[in-house]
Amino acid sequence: MEKFTDYQRHIEKAIDWVWNMLPNLILAIILLVVGWWIVKVINRLVRRFFEKKDYDPTLESFLQSFISIGLKVLLFVLVVTQLGVKTSSLIALLGAAGLAIGLALQGSLSNFAGGVLILLFKPFKVGDWISAQGVDGAVKEITIFNTKLTTFGNQIAIIPNGQLSNGNVVNYNAEPIRRENYIVGISYNSNIKTAKDILLEICEADDRILKDPAPEVYVDSLADSSVNLTLRFWAPNEVFWPARFNVIESSKLRFDEAGIEIPFPQRVVHDAASD
Q: Quick one: pLDDT band at residue 237, thresholds 50, 70, 90? A: very high
Sequence-distant (≥ 6) Cβ neighbours of residue 234 within 8 angstroms: 177, 178, 179, 180, 209, 210, 213, 215
Asked if residue 141 lies in contact with residue 61, where contact means CB atoms within 8 angstroms, the answer is: yes
What Cα–Cα distance (Å) separates residue 243 from each residue in 20, 192, 228, 236? 75, 23, 21, 9
Q: What's the confidence (pLDDT) of residue 143?
A: 83
DSSP symbols for 146-164 = EEEEE-TTS-EEEEEHHHH
Q: Which long-range contacts (CB under 8 A, 24 or more apart) does 101-108 make?
A: 107/160, 107/162, 108/145
Assigned CATH for 115-171: 2.30.30.60
Any idea where the domains of the chain sit in the sequence? 15-104, 115-171, 177-258
Mean pLDDT is lowest, of 7-11, 134-138, 233-237, 268-272, for 268-272
Q: What's the confidence (pLDDT) of residue 166?
A: 85
Instruction: Please give the residue that has the higher pLDDT: either 33 or 94.
Output: 33
Give the CATH architecture of domain 15-104: Orthogonal Bundle (1.10)
Query: What is the H or E stretch that residue 92 is in?
Result: helix 87-104
Q: Which CATH number fits domain 177-258: 3.30.70.100, 3.90.1170.50, 3.40.250.10, 3.40.50.10210?
A: 3.30.70.100
Res. 274: pLDDT tops 90: no
Residue-wise pLDDT for 138-197, tens only, equals 999 888 788 999 998 999 999 998 888 888 899 999 899 999 999 999 999 999 999 999
Rounded Cα distance, 228 and 187, in Å: 9
Residue-wise pLDDT for 56-100, tens only, equals 666 667 777 778 877 887 777 777 777 766 655 556 666 666 555
